Amino acid sequence: MKTALWNSPTDRYMNVITVENLTKKFGSFTAVDNISFEVGKGEIFGFLGANGAGKTTAMRMLCGLLKPTSGKGIVAGYDIRSESENVKASIGYMSQKFALYEDLKVWENIRLYAGIYGVPEKDIAPKTDELLKELGFEGEKETLVKSLPLGWRQKLAFSVSIFHEPKVVFLDEPTGGVDPVTRRQFWEMIYKASDKGITVFVTTHYMDEAEYCNRVSIMVDGRIDALDSPANLKKEFNATSMDEVFRKLARKSKNNEL
């Protein structure tokens, strides 16, 4: 798998994310240890791991927020090390922490990010209305984001992150603290985005959500210990659920929190 990656030029276009031997060290601590994988267009790629396994660090490198210590990464056709600003223009990102402006209204947040990503101004307002209608948020257009309930905020943050139709969207624990009904709706939104051809790269702690992904990678102590579709992983580890797969793998961790 690794050898073929960089030899064939077409791989760079078929795969939206290609990572080879990516490593990040903070001093003597290796947060991400030599990981390699690829993600295809429109795929929903689950990125699993216990707290501190290195998921967020890996994701931040792919988004151009962190410089890798060594290894290569291509996201949306751009090198994450040398072309990080181009990477940023082609991706969407939704962080663990809610990061829309709470003192701006719903439409103002959408307008701000749409403008920054270069959506033509004449398209912003009609697209905003369309989006709010789709979300059932028409009544909240003028609401300050700080007065929205958490689940709504997360849905809004996700919509904002894909408003400019990026090639990939990175979601860092998007459903943390959200109720099951909203989580379900959230995943419906993820499927819709994937149907539009947007690649979804998602980290999560919820194993039921892992089942919704096309493929899942499981990180333990900075390494990727397993990577396959949920069905194959269950077969391989002789487990009935992703939860069991995860437990079996996480048990190997040196800094076990489970």
Partner 1 sequence: MLKYLLEKEFKQFFRSSSLPRMVIIMPFMAVLIFPLVANFEIKNINLAVVDNDKSTYSQQLIQKVSSSGYFRISDVSDSYPQALRSVELNKSDIILEIPPHFERDMAKEKSATVLIAANSVSGTKGGLGSSYLAGIIGDFSNNIRSEWITASDRFSSGRFEISPQFWYNPRLLYTYFMVPALMVMVLAMLCGFLPALNIVGEKANGTIEQMNVTPVNKFIFILSKLLPYWIIGFVVLTICFIVARIFYGLVPEGSLATIYLFAALFVLAFSGFGLVISNYANTLQQAMFMMFFFVLTFILMSGLYTPIANMPQWAQYLSNFSPLKYIIIVLRQVYLKGSSFSELLLPFAVLSGFAVFFNGWAVLSYRKSS
Residue 226 as a binder of partner 1 (CB under 8 A): the answer is no
Interaction residues for partner 1, span 93-122 (CB under 8 A): 93, 95, 97-104, 108, 111-113, 115-118
What residues have CB less than 8 Å from 197, skipping those under 6 apart? 41, 42
Question: Between the CA of residue 29 and those of 26, 56, 159, 162, 174, what are the distances in Å?
Answer: 5, 15, 36, 34, 27
- The pattern of x and - marking residues 25 through 64 that bind partner 1 according to CB under 8 A reads --------------------------------------xx
Q: Which is nearer to partner 1, 113 or 246 (CB)?
A: 113
For residues 220 and 103, what is the distance between their CA atoms, to the nearest angstrom?
Answer: 39
Closest CB 208 distance from partner 1, rounded Å? 27
Q: Which is nearer to partner 1, 45 or 117 (CB)?
A: 117
Closest CB 97 distance from partner 1, rounded Å? 4
- The pattern of x and - marking residues 63 through 92 that bind partner 1 according to CB under 8 A reads xxxxx----------------xxx-xx-x-
Q: Which is nearer to partner 1, 158 or 212 (CB)?
A: 158
Q: Which is nearer to partner 1, 107 or 212 (CB)?
A: 107
Closest CB 249 distance from partner 1, rounded Å? 29
Q: What is the dihedral of CA 209, 239, 236, 232, to 10 degrees?
A: -40
Closest C-alpha among 217, 239, 243, 241 to residue 229: 217
Residue in the structure block whose two tokens are 């994988």: 37
CA 101 to chain centre: 20
Tokens of 181: 């009904």
Q: Yes or no: say if 168 and 64 are a contact pair by the CB < 8 Å rule.
A: no
Reported as half-sphere exposure (CB side, CA atoms, 13 A), residue 155 has a value of 24
For residues 19 and 138, what is the distance between their CA atoms, to the nearest angstrom?
Answer: 40
Dihedrals phi, psi of 120, to nearest 5 degrees: -55, 140
Residue 257 CB: number of other CB atoms within 10 A? 9
Residue 12 CB: number of other CB atoms within 10 A? 16
Q: Name the DSSP class of 145.
A: G
Closest CB 3 distance from partner 1, rounded Å? 30
Closest CB 82 distance from partner 1, rounded Å? 12
Q: Which is nearer to partner 1, 95 or 159 (CB)?
A: 95
Q: How many residues bind partner 1 (CB under 8 A)?
A: 29
Closest CB 102 distance from partner 1, rounded Å? 8
Closest CB 108 distance from partner 1, rounded Å? 6
Q: Which is nearer to partner 1, 178 or 218 (CB)?
A: 178
Q: Which is nearer to partner 1, 169 or 220 (CB)?
A: 169
Residues that bind partner 1 (CB under 8 A): 63-67, 84-86, 88-89, 91, 93, 95, 97-104, 108, 111-113, 115-118
